[in-house]
Structure 1
């Protein structure tokens, strides 16, 4: 399970490029227009001005509108600025092959994005106050860095990552009944009431009740209740952590005790479970693992090396209220802390509605 460190919470650029599959870039140069704005960050080899920072924030808002409110808070602005330093610094070290691959991906992604927005494409950019060139210049940094890191991942690192996370690739058929903290009518349910109802479900199943009938009557997971609560032959890595661990360890064909996740309590039954070896992985799965290793290396750079390349931060305070900043730091459900990372998705199988 991912931690909620601020830089991970606001890792908007990487999430937009990889998880949301939105815009990329075709060139890595900065805007050549004269820029006399205040220097906000100085790092080994370069600097970031107020104009550059403001432009990148606008791009982030366009790519991740659900996170726009957090991009205005002092609690996160310094994190965003440091993130920008990291991508500019690392993009400068990326080789030509990485940049060419970034451009190739950009061509495909920008075409898909334009097609998706249709006639509203130009107005969307105008509303946010950015140009296509600014979006491209921003995103090329992200993809160039990411591609450069992927190229450096070795086969041994891929195999080690698989061994460390091999349970994620186990394929299982799981039935469950979700008693949510929000019921099917979107009415909040207390944790005590949810647990009481979950225990009632377990008692009925232990007594021989038909799982499919119980799921249809009790489950708040609209994605599975009409299918007898069944998610069939799914990789366990798609589930939230608590659900995944239970699915990995429960004895087959037994009714679990209530398993708590952020969505509520699950009563589970694992009907089948098949582990995979490395040799059984598809090329696509191996590429996914390679991407994970690259992301981990990027995270490690952020945590261990970023501060050492920053010479000075000169970020003025905004007018956002301290209360608003404090509230954002708490990262409520639905905020970037719950949605920023690709693998942090709750998955339909864990009760998403």
Structure 2
């Protein structure tokens, strides 16, 4: 409940088909036409991408990730998707025959699941039809995704041995408190359902309940009873709200900050996170030191540093391709607009439009 997602890539064994409609992409009149037909929206060394080709990919992404279509309606993010699409398409040519075979096996499994779900989910069929995406094309995209995940993992392992001890220590010293070992009890009063993003109750309502719970605890209330009665954290409510001897680095920011700074043995004021309000009591906290880290801890830091090196490598590969993206211009403001127009009349990003930490 309280942890960040550990990896930005989906496990191939798990398939989530989200039934969402793809945000309509603005048409581009008068642009260059590709050799295979369709508007060219990107060029790179050795090739080009048409709007038709990318729209099919975008439809596939919207099936795999419910938020993809929303993000791709933002020009800057759509441009990044296009660049990532090109880079992955180029790099997967370097995977081994063995990895290619594994990717094909994963794609075959995906095909069976997709076809089964399409029998009972007309919304999915409509999504694919609207995006002009056939089952064969979706399966091909899935194979490419599986192949790139294999490439990404292999390259990360290849870079790990290049990480030096001083780099591991420097990374640790950026956030040493992430390795503090902490035991903390908490009772969560939700404002948001982490699975759906839907509101459960208002901030005011959640804070009032949290303050009432704190008052009961201050008066000598039993943590186990009150956690069972009030806590909405399924991971700890049956255990008196206890997370025992855990490193704080995996917790969401607000909870981690409180766990690292709140006085030991004191029930603090309710702490707000993206999940809601937490009534917290830090029972113990052992500060981390580099020379006390386990080999597993050091290996985790090494993986993190290798990840940065991997992203630098991918950026360099992207630069080598000299990608040029040409997206349609955004619509001009209405002629009726004026400097005195209300700010609410202008498009703006809402807080819910940005990625946030979520439960595992």
Range class of TM-score, shorter chain: 0.5 to 0.7
State yes or no: 1:120 paired with 2:116. Answer: yes
In structure 2, what is the equivalent of residue 178 of structure 1? 188
- Alpha-carbon contact 1:102-1:147 (below 8 Å) kept: no
- Within the candidate set 3, 8, 11, 1:15 is matched to 8
State yes or no: 1:151 paired with 2:158. Answer: yes
In structure 1, what is the equivalent of residue 63 of structure 2? 62
CA pair 108-250 structure 1, distance change in 2 beyond 3 A? farther
In structure 2, what is the equivalent of residue 135 of structure 1? 142
CA pair 19-140 structure 1, distance change in 2 beyond 3 A? closer
Cα distance between partner residues in 2 of 1:176 and 1:210: 12
Q: TM-score, normalised by structure 2?
A: 0.64
- Per-residue deviation at 1:308? 8.7
Cα distance between partner residues in 1 of 2:12 and 2:182: 24
| Worse-superposed segment, 79-88 or 69-78 | 69-78
In structure 2, what is the equivalent of residue 345 of structure 1? 358
Cα distance between partner residues in 1 of 2:318 and 2:50: 18
In structure 2, what is the equivalent of residue 205 of structure 1? 217
CA pair 83-190 structure 1, distance change in 2 beyond 3 A? same
- Per-residue deviation at 1:41? 0.8
State yes or no: 1:42 paired with 2:55. Answer: no
- Within the candidate set 250, 260, 273, 2:272 is matched to 260
Cα distance between partner residues in 1 of 2:210 and 2:221: 14
- Per-residue deviation at 1:222? 3.7
Cα distance between partner residues in 2 of 1:201 and 1:295: 42
- Per-residue deviation at 1:267? 1.2
- Per-residue deviation at 1:294? 4.2
CA RMSD between the two structures = 4.5
- Alpha-carbon contact 1:180-1:220 (below 8 Å) kept: yes
CA pair 192-88 structure 1, distance change in 2 beyond 3 A? same
Q: TM-score, normalised by structure 1?
A: 0.66
Cα distance between partner residues in 1 of 2:150 and 2:116: 25
Which stretches of structure 1, 4 residues or more, deviate above 6 A after TM superposition? 121-126, 301-305
| Worse-superposed segment, 102-111 or 258-267 | 102-111
Secondary structure of 1:217 counterpart: helix
- Alpha-carbon contact 1:181-1:263 (below 8 Å) kept: yes
Cα distance between partner residues in 2 of 1:233 and 1:345: 22
- Within the candidate set 101, 106, 109, 2:103 is matched to 106
- Alpha-carbon contact 2:266-2:281 (below 8 Å) kept: yes
CA pair 301-337 structure 1, distance change in 2 beyond 3 A? farther
- Alpha-carbon contact 1:179-1:218 (below 8 Å) kept: yes
- Once the two structures are superposed, what CA deviation does each residue of 1:25-56 show, in whole Å capped at 9, x if it has no partner? xxxxxxxxx83443211234543233432332
Secondary structure of 2:355 counterpart: helix
Cα distance between partner residues in 2 of 1:273 and 1:20: 37
State yes or no: 1:251 paired with 2:266. Answer: no
The structure in which a higher percent of residues are helix is 1
- Alpha-carbon contact 1:146-1:294 (below 8 Å) kept: no
CA pair 337-118 structure 1, distance change in 2 beyond 3 A? closer
- Per-residue deviation at 1:211? 1.8
Structure 1 alignment gaps of length 5 or more: 1-13, 24-33, 339-343, 348-353
State the aligned residue count. Answer: 306
Secondary structure of 1:151 counterpart: helix
Cα distance between partner residues in 1 of 2:97 and 2:178: 32
Structure 2 alignment gaps of length 5 or more: 1-6, 17-34, 335-343
CA pair 20-239 structure 1, distance change in 2 beyond 3 A? farther
